Structure 1
Amino acid sequence: MSIPSFSQKGKKEVVIPQTQEDSLKLEGVLVEAEKQLILENYAKSLENFHVALDMNTESAAIHFKIAEVLAKNDEGQKALPYGLKAIELAPDNKYYRLGLARIYQSIGFYIDAAKTYEDLVARFPSEENALYELAELYQLTGRREDMFRIFDQIEDQLGVKEEITREKQRIYMKEGKVDEVITEYEKLIAAYPHESSYKAELINFLIQNRKLDQAEQAIANYEDTESTSSRITLMKSELAWMKGKRKESLELLSSAFETTSIDFQSKFQILSNYLVMKPSPEERSKLTEIAVSLADKHADEFKAQAFVGDLLYQDGQSEEAIGYYLKAVTLSPANYSVWQNILNIEADLNQYDSLVKHAEQALEYFPNQALLYYFAGTGHLINQDYKKSVRMLEQGRKYTVDPNLLTVFYGQLGDAYNGMRELDKSFRAYDKALENSPNNDHVLNNYSYFLSLENKNLDKALEMSTQLVELHPNNPTYLDTHGWVLYSVGKYKESKKFLERAASMEEDGTVIEHYGDVLFQLGDVDEAIKQWERARDLGNASELIKKKITDRKLYE
């Protein structure tokens, strides 16, 4: 076999190896070059291919391989002359042309790349790879009409191809050409009449784009050829909804959901879609009923239980919601948002034993979530287990980065330490809370009230309670606190104004008793006794209330 090459003087001539040894040496160099290329040792591979090229300078294959190695090593500019030489030596090799076009693309020479692909397609009209590459290049360079021309050529030569159809539809949708998208669906269906998914896609597209009459006809055609009645029922349901026949739509939806031919995930997604389409309260109630049925049939699906919990919670059915939420966290306990909903509901319903239990369960999975410590600490606080409350709140505040939440933690710690009669810690916690939030009403109220009960730092207590009623002039609890602080500093007439207002607004034993106390201090004993009797009957008065009434005396 003769091997063409260049002479040392640069004059083109044919050099035929004189010995078998020369041929074997060239073959060995090429094998080593390919080996290094496979190993991605590009420098070694290139070195061997250059040795081979010195031995046979007129080999298109070796020129092409050098171009390939350089291209793989991101050296497209250096690869280019070798790619061009390969085509010059072997103009009818389509793979060399394809490789050259890709080299042009890699270095951003898109016009040259397109010209190379065009030449390739002209020489080899049925070369599928080149057609696709050329279409992609036209797309990249914004040559829409040329791209569609190539799409048409592909379809003429190779038939309708899904990937081409999808790309054309994407472009048409971007251009707002809905009818052209529909035409492409129809071509795809005609080319693949037994592929039912294309028919279903077309129907869904028609419905979404409010081509309702066309959708109705497409459903009828689909129904003639398909036996999957549940899918058709769903399409009819959606169509009826879009036509305003919502009662009929929901009946069809319920019927479709009774079948097992539709998997849970599909049912769940469909139901979610209906719920975002602004259903009326009556329609939402029906959708919730369907969701409950779905959750009951799929008791092992976390998503179903949590979804129903969300629906019921949003509709104000908190007690019903919590049952589904608890099922959900049994199936998937590492879901923080569901735990948070459970705890919010239990706090709203004053279910503090459950609140503590579930907050501590949630902490097993989310030990760094400050809010869970807050719920647990607050539950213990309300249940008067102050030591546990302090432990939870002190731990939780370490994980708190939100200043507002930190204020709440310190406020609750102030209450808990007060319950333990560790007053210095209580007042320090309140001070910390007010550093973050000087107008926090809970802290201003409790801090000033507890100071007055202890007869400590009454000037500060009065300053805080005054601030409190200025911020909330119509809150009976705060009016009572301010009135009681005024009472504690001996300002009985001024105290009476606030306590009288609070007593007229709040049927609470403590508030009424305070009003009776100030009346007594002002000498109105008979009216004071009446208010004490009222406080006794309401409950929540002090342990001294009966003695006050019996002895007609003030005990503090």
Structure 2
Amino acid sequence: MAALLSVGEVAAQRSLPITRHKAGGIVRNDTIVIARDTTSERYRYVEALKLLHISRDTVRGYALLREMIASDSSYAPAHHSLATSAMRHNPAMALRHAESAYRSDTTSLWYAKSYGEALMQNRMMEQAIEQYRRIVELEPKNPENYYILAWLLSREGRYDEGIELIATSETLFGRIDALAELKLFMLYRTGQTLLAEREARMAYEANPSEDNMERLGEMYAANKKDSLAEQLYIEAVRRDSLSARNLLRLGEYYYQRKQMTPYMKVMVQIIALPDWDFDMKYKAVKTLVDDRQMYNAYVFDIAQMILSLYKQYPEKPEALDLLGSHYIYMSDIESCLTLYKRHLTDEPPREEYYIAVIDIHNYLEQYDSVAHYTQRALDIFPTSPTLHLHRGATQQIKGDLMGCIRSFERAEQMATNDTLRGEILGYIGDVYHSIRERREALDRAGVRRDTSRYPVRMSAAKARQRSYMYYEKALLYYYDNAAVLNNYAYFLSLEGSQLERAEQMASRAVELDRNASNLDTYAWILHLRGEHAEAQRLMRQALALDEGESADLQMHYGDILYALENYALAKSYWQRALQYGAEREAVEFRLGLLERDVKPKMQYNTER
């Protein structure tokens, strides 16, 4: 093939003489025709490099390299280029090409290093070690080669060889920080901690950097020289009290030795640092707060951290919640209320701040304030189901049961998922049950018309029907609602109806939440179905979990014991139920059975 080239190109590439001609006093280069061998390996290789690095045409460039290897498998430059390109994304291919290049020319330092890197990329460490020994022989005055070989020896646990190699490098080049650090590590791993300490001290004296100080402190600690380590860390903090790294190192030193008092003092300093990341600070303080034993023992130090965090980041909800929770922990309810009220004017407004204010007023039984702040919040967040639930709960406390149902129904319309919808429908079922109980109490008292501030205009039967209807709807949306399963099962058991289904629901409620109330319901239903022994076993568990000393549980257990003909113990639990607030009439009826020596032939539908 022939190509047109300028004389300058020919001279540059072939070292040919340039023929110049004068024309009108101007010297110019003539263009000549040269027969150029475009099939030569060097030419094709240069073309491949131009495609790769100038044109950025990797597809054609690599294809040309592969063509060259296909025609001459020993052409090392092409193998080397392909190895370099594949080193990260295809280590196995890189190894094949790197080895081929190196075998073609074992005197080439580039090929030797490429092959060594490929061996490391393929985790062939023993072969890589031998390869880097050859590289050190090829290039003995490059300390980087010694470092890589020492690192490989260290990685394979050949510490003594690594230490000896670094000693050789120190003879040639003097002390080099990277190699000295590696030597320190290997001395430590071989148990030569005193030599490691000496190395660390030399490094620190030569350069008192944070890294060198940290290594020296670690060596002091390894040699049980705690006082020197502590002194070193304290000195570092004294030199730079705003260094998070220095403070964290000192704090870790105290924490590892369970010296919690100085540790807390250091943590106070760390949280006060202006340039340490908020998330890191919050996580550190939250960890201390969640450890109740630590919180109790160092409450004042932790309080200082919480206040510091809030003062630095008053706009962060997490910092505000930490401070609010701390006030509640300290029983300083008023300060907590003031804190959240201060943030009600934040922009953009946050619903959770209003809910916190509402909850605190609710806890303080300040229901007018609850209603006020609930309405303020609803003006801003009219579609919030949580706020409608809060309004309904306040109405329920006041006795406005119908108003409560309307608020709960509004919340159900706003619900964004079936789980929440099922929970709200369960609440409505509970309120209708409360209406039923109120109406039944009025009926027993002979009161035909409810003249209270919030009258109920519904019969007990109608309220029962709606209660059960809402329970059914709740379970359709969210069957694994333990509260609904438990309440529905218990109310059915009081009527003695659908006991088999009631047992299934109660059993599932216990599986979901094994608390005293759910166990009591399940045991009571089993008792009604005649399974007294199993009922006794479950009721014992319920009593063990009952922290409120419920009169209902005492009464139920007495009934179960009576059915098992354990009369003495049954009497004891009935009397205990009376002490815990059970109705005297119900207890005296049971005690009368014992006095008349009436054998157990029936169960008793006692109410909670």
TM-score of the two chains, using structure 1 as the length reference: 0.58
Paired residue for 1:426?
A: 467
Aligned residues of 1:207 and 1:242 also touching (Cα < 8 A)? no
Question: What amino acid sits opposite 1:390 in the alignment?
Answer: E
Selected match of 1:386 from 382, 387, 405: 405
Instruction: Find the counterpart in structure 2 of residue 93 from structure 1.
Output: 108
CA contact (8 A) 2:412 2:424 kept: yes
Q: 1:500 to 1:392 in 2, by over 3 A?
A: farther
Tell me which of 90, 94, 103 is aligned to 1:74. 90
Distance 1:236 1:333 in 2: 40
Q: CA separation in 1, counterparts of 2:304 and 2:324?
A: 12
Contact 1:476/1:506, CA 8 A, preserved across alignment: yes
Say if 2:80 and 2:101, in contact at 8 Å, map to a contact too.
yes
Q: What does the per-residue CA deviation read over 1:129-161, in whole Å, with 9 as the maximum and x for residues that have no partner?
A: 544443454455444444555555666647443
Q: Structure 1 residues 413, 86: closer, same or farther in 2, change over 3 A?
A: same
1:218 is matched with: 232
Letter in 1 for 2:419: T
Query: Quick one: distance in 2 between partners of 1:366 and 1:186?
Result: 67
Q: Show the counterpart of 1:186.
A: 201
Where do residues 63-142 of structure 1 align in structure 2 (5 Å cutoff)? 63-68=79-84, 74=90, 76=92, 80=96, 83-84=98-99, 86-87=101-102, 90-107=105-122, 109-139=124-154, 141-142=156-157
Question: CA shift at 1:414, angstroms?
Answer: 0.6
Q: How far did residue 389 of structure 1 move?
A: 1.0
CA contact (8 A) 1:70 1:78 kept: yes
Alignment map for 1:153-552 (pairs within 5 Å): 157=173, 159-161=175-177, 165=181, 169=185, 185-193=200-208, 195-196=209-210, 198-199=212-213, 212-219=226-233, 222=236, 226=239, 228=241, 256=269, 265=278, 279=294, 281=296, 283-296=298-311, 298-314=313-329, 320-321=335-336, 353=370, 357=374, 378=393, 381-382=396-397, 384=400, 385-393=404-412, 396=415, 398-400=417-419, 409-417=424-432, 419=435, 421=458, 423=463, 424-430=465-471, 442-443=487-488, 458-460=495-497, 467=524, 475-476=550-551, 505-506=580-581
Residues in 1 aligned to 2:127 and 2:350: alpha-carbon distance in whole angstroms: 56
Which of 16, 19, 32 is matched with 2:47 structurally?
Answer: 32
Could you list the runs of 5+ residues in structure 1 that have no partner in the other structure?
A: 4-17, 450-457, 482-497, 519-556
1:49 matched to 2:68? The reply is: no
What amino acid is aligned across from residue 218 of structure 1 in structure 2? L
How far apart in 2 are the matches of 1:24 and 1:184?
Answer: 59
1:341 to 1:2, Cα distance in 2 relative to 1, 3 A: same
Structure 1, residues 2-46: CA drift from partner, whole Å, max 9, x if none? 99xxxxxxxxxxxxxx96512797665334312444588666334
- Structure 2 CA distance for partners of 1:281 and 1:108, relative to 1, 3 Å: closer
Aligned sequence identity (%): 15
Could you list the per-position Cα deviations for residues 408-431 of structure 1 after superposition, in whole angstroms to 9, with x for gaps in the alignment? 655412123455856333122345
The structure-2 alpha-carbon separation of the partners of 1:350 and 1:77, relative to structure 1 and needing over 3 Å to count, comes to same
Q: Let me know the Cα RMSD of the aligned residues.
A: 6.3
Change (3 A) 1:364 1:241: same
Task: Note the C-alpha offset of 1:94.
Answer: 1.6
- Shift of the 347–462 alpha-carbon distance from structure 1 to 2, 3 Å rule, reads farther
Structure 1 residues 31 and 122, CA gap change in structure 2 (3 angstroms) = closer
Q: How far apart, in 1, do the equivalents of 2:139 and 2:243 lie?
A: 48
Deviations 1:197-251 (A, max 9, x none): 6536865997899854123432565478x26489889988888899998778767
Matching residue's letter, 1:389: F
Question: For the structure 1 residues 312 and 426, does the alpha-carbon distance in structure 2 shift closer, same or farther, using more than 3 Å as the test?
Answer: same
Report the number of matched residues: 465
Paired with 2:218 and 2:360, the residues of 1 have a C-alpha distance of 39
Counterpart-to-counterpart distance in 1, 2:391 and 2:338: 20
Q: Render the CA deviation track for 1:57-113: whole Å, top value 9, x for unaligned.
A: 986434433544565773746863x54554456444321111112233445544333
SS of the aligned residue for 2:117 comes to: helix
* TM-score, normalisation: structure 2: 0.54
